[in-house]
Amino acid sequence: MNNRYELNKNLAQMLKGGVIMDVTTPEQARIAQKAGACAVMALERIPADIRTAGGVSRMSDPKMIKSIQEAVTIPVMAKVRIGHFTEAQILEAIEIDYVDESEVLSPADDTFHIDKTQFQVPFVCGAKDLGEALRRISEGASMIRTKGEPGTGDVVQAVRHMRMINQQMRKLQNLREDELFQAAKDLQVSYDLVKYVHQNGKLPVVNFAAGGIATPADAALMMQLGAEGVFVGSGIFKSGDPERRAQAIVKAVTNFNDAKLLAELSEDLGEAMVGINEQEIEVLMALRGE
Amino acid sequence: MRRKIGILAIQGAFAEHASMLSALNVEVIEIRQKSHLENIELDGIILPGGESTVMGKLLRELDMFYPLKKLIEDGLPVLGTCAGLILLAKEVINDNECHLATMDISIKRNAYGRQLGSFQVNHEFKYLGEIPMTFIRAPYINSISNEGEILAIVDNNIVAARQNNMLVTSFHPELTTDLSVHKYFLDMI
């Protein structure tokens, strides 16, 4: 693809090993930056509150996003509804650093995702499995994250999705060359992308973990499972001591293999967000947009 | 003996630098903690791209800040790319916070604006000829002391410079396949 796509993939590379935090106000954005976030996701309501509020959830007010852009020097991301390319045009107009075409918001299109190749700004999209990840990449996503189950504080689905993507990549690596054509059909993706994964054993873009990460241990778990960084949504500002928890999660991502340090980081964090088990929730956001 | 180069690996694009160094037959040591700086005799260190606010903060909190600053002040060859350049600068004109502050340069962060301002060019680099340069939300050098040497200027802004043991670029040589900046760095050792 074009040079802009390379530059957009490159920005995601700079975020690796970092934590991207959901924030709803300039004040929270400043706290996140101070705590060591490598980027912030500006949104009006964090996923846990979207669940509580119900109804249709949309792109945030551009004025609120701009106030967050002014408050921090790190990249600012914001969410649009799946398929809502006009919301994406609006975010591009205010020079957002990354658009998240997100299942956290109510989908605007139940068939088509945004044709992200038509944009200059980069897109990150969620995926539960390799087919979804590669479909989003062929639509122009320059970064992938697991869907997990946002706003729950329950890491089980992020784990499931990360394991699934990695297992499917290992399977592709082990196929014979002449078996890749059928694999492309099964995954409903292009042969070229299947061949890339077969040869390289990884996605052609950066892959983060997201959805339900609430503790330093959760974040380190996702990193040990192969995530290149993490998104933390409701987990920080729904907890007892956001600043302290944010700092601990940042350090846990950097030293995800050092159990002794993780033990220290996990001490005295105050109350974690109250979790909801996947069996208890009514809306499964991960099922939006396949 | 193979040379040992440390790469600060607390956040950002450190793996990309590692693969460049491996291609040049150099042993790579990932530096994530203070003990990694103290227990290994390094021939040089790379401060990679990423977010300088994150790296600056983690350097302090993981007690690596002063040991690293001292190594550089004592002459350890260092290559700083993008965020790495910011970490080494003595002055950041649009930010109150400085980090290692070992190099006599004054720089501007996010000097080309947001991601839409990111770009790639092929441009002249002193001693190396024309090389690809990828700028991602990049800083540039506003001014440099007489002790420093300017190595590349793009659109009237200084984007690469050297001062004694310190080499900095505001672009990312590690995002291309061109090894010449890394070779130049290894020649400094």
Q: For residue A23, what pLDDT is reported?
A: 95
Distances (CA, A) of A223 to A32, A208, B107: 20, 9, 34
DSSP output for B70-122: HHHHTT--EEEETHHHHHHEEEETT-S---S--EEEEEETTTT-SGGG-EEEE
Domain count, chain B: 1
> What pLDDT score was predicted for residue A127?
97
Residues of A in contact with B58 (CB under 8 A): 36, 250-251, 254
Q: Is the pLDDT of residue A237 over 90?
A: no
Identify the helix (H) or strand (E) that includes residue B124.
Answer: strand B119-125
Mean pLDDT of A125-145: 98
Is the separation of the CB atoms in A51 and A95 below 8 Å? no
The one-letter amino acid code at A25 reads T
Query: Would you state the pLDDT for residue A210?
Result: 96
Q: Return the CATH number at B177.
A: 3.40.50.880
| For range A208-222, the mean pLDDT | 96
pLDDT at residue number A1: 45
Quote the tokens at residue A267.
Answer: 């001490």
Q: Work out the pLDDT band at A285, boundaries 50, 70, 90.
A: confident
- How confident is the model over A258-279, as a mean pLDDT? 84
Query: DSSP secondary structure string, A109-153?
Result: -SS----GGG-SS-EEEEESSHHHHHHHHHTT-SEEEE---TTS-
Are A220 and A207 a contacting pair, CB within 8 Å?
Answer: no
3-state secondary structure of A168: helix
Residue type, B120: Q
> Tell me: the pLDDT tens digits for B121-139?
999 999 999 999 999 999 9
**pLDDT of res. A137:** 98
Chain A positions in Cβ-Cβ contact with residue B115 (cut-off 8 Å):
7-8, 11, 75, 95-98, 121-122
Q: Whole-angstrom Cα distance, residue A266 to residue A250?
A: 12
Count other C-beta atoms under 10 Å from residue B179's C-beta: 16
Task: Name every chain B residue with its beta carbon within 8 A of the beta carbon of A253.
Answer: 11
A1-58: pLDDT as tens digits: 459 999 999 999 999 999 999 999 999 999 999 999 999 999 988 888 888 888 889 9
Name the closest residue on chain A to residue B174, using Cα atoms.
Answer: A10
Per-residue tokens: A93: 């107009």
The token pair at B9 is 């690996």
Q: Which of A7, A38, A95 sits opposite B50 (nearest CB)?
A: A38
- CA distances to A241, A266, A274, B113, B164 from A270, in Å: 6, 10, 12, 38, 48
Please name the residue of chain B whose CA is at the shortest distance from the CA of residue A37. B54
- Closest residue to A18, CB basis, from B51, B116, B120: B51
pTM of the model: 0.95
CB B39 within 8 A of CB B73: no
Looking at residue A49, its pLDDT comes to 85
Closest Cβ opposite residue B120 in set A7, A73, A261: A7
Give CB contacts under 8 A, 24+ apart, made by B153-157: B154/B121, B154/B123, B157/B111
Q: Using the Cα atoms of residue A205, residue A209, residue A211 and residue A214 in order, give the sign of their dihedral.
A: negative
When scoring B17, B114, B175 by the number of chain A Cβ atoms within 10 A, the one with the most, hence best to mutate, is: B114
Mark which residues 94-153 of B lie under 8 Å from A by CB.
95, 109-110, 113-116, 118-120, 134, 136-137
3-state secondary structure of B47: strand
The yes-or-no answer on residue B174 being catalytic is: yes
pLDDT of B148 = 96
Band of residue B90 on the pLDDT scale cut at 50, 70, 90 = very high
What is the predicted pLDDT for the residue at A274? 67
Looking at residue A31, its pLDDT comes to: 96
Higher per-residue confidence, A115 vs A241 = A115
Confidence of residue A217 (pLDDT cuts 50, 70, 90): very high
Question: Quick one: pLDDT at residue A172?
Answer: 98
Least confident of A42-46, A261-265, B155-159: A42-46
pLDDT confidence of A239, banded at 50, 70, 90?
A: confident
Whether B58 shows a pLDDT value over 50: the answer reads yes
ipTM field: 0.95
Could you tell me if A142 and A99 are in contact, meaning their C-beta atoms sit under 8 angstroms apart? Answer: no
pLDDT score recorded for residue A2 = 59
Coil, strand or helix: which one is B40?
coil
Residue A130's closest CA among A102, A166, A157, A82?
A166
Which alpha helices (H) appear in chain A, and where do they start and end? 3-15, 26-35, 47-53, 62-71, 85-93, 130-138, 156-174, 180-187, 191-200, 216-224, 234-237, 242-254, 259-265
Mean pLDDT for chain A overall: 94
The whole-number pLDDT of residue B10 equals 96
Taking residues B45-56, what's their average pLDDT? 97
pLDDT for the residue numbered A230: 98
Residue A235 confidence (pLDDT): 83
Q: Taking residues B32-59, what's their average pLDDT?
A: 95
- Which pLDDT band, with edges at 50, 70 and 90, does A76 fall under? very high
Q: Is-contact A13 A206, C-beta < 8 A?
A: yes
Task: Print the domain residue range for B174.
Answer: 4-187
- Predicted local confidence at residue A270, as pLDDT: 83
pLDDT digits (tens, 9 = 90+) for A147-198: 988 888 899 999 999 999 999 999 999 999 999 999 999 999 999 999 999 9
